Amino acid sequence: MRVLGIDPGLTRCGVGVVEGSVGRPLRLIDVNVVRTTSTLPVWERLVTIEKALDAWIEEHRPDAVSIERIFARSDVSTIMGTAQASGLAMVVAARRGIPVALHTPSEVKAAVSGNGRADKAQVTAMVTRILRLDAPPKPADAADALALAITHIWRGGAHERITEAQNKYAAAVAAAGRGTR
């Protein structure tokens, strides 16, 4: 499975592609940060991010896109830019029919480090170790994007199987209910 991890942000949007499967060594395909300048209007910055994400999907052909789920922070202006970049990432993937998964920061930290409260340095160290890199990916947005991709490879399949089982169960219950009338 090849996953594009996206750490959304309006100024710095981390992107990283990881390939592999559960129980097998994972491989870094590519990693970078899409940057925009705060002097440009928001809509121009979003166009820059959209074009970059579209190019990453075109070049790397991921099987899934893993995006950090947005949560409320104290700075509303930061949340808005992050949410706009996140929504844009979802649209770019959906437009191409690529499944999208949203993972919380604590879920990502727990997946890569075993600790849902790990700090950025711990996450970066574990990403470096998991992908057998010579040096830590920088900046932190790049490491976070890789951590998102790793999380999806390791946990995404299980989540999809659970959701599928829940849907089958709900359909069976509904069918049983219809049969007793």
| Positions marked catalytic | 7, 68, 141
Beta bridge partners of 41: none
Residue with tokens 């994400």, as numbered in its chain: 53
Residue 119 marked in a binding site: no
The Cα diameter of the chain in Å comes to 65
Buried (b) or exposed (e) across 98-136, using 16+ Cβ within 10 A? Answer: bebbebebebbbbbbbeeeebeeeebbbbbbebbeeeee
Residue 63 marked in a binding site: no
**Alpha carbon distance 138, 33 (integer Å):** 9
Residue 50 marked in a binding site: no
**Alpha carbon distance 31, 136 (integer Å):** 11
Query: Binding site for Mg(2+): which residues?
Result: 7, 68, 141
Query: Binding site: which residues?
Result: 7, 68, 141
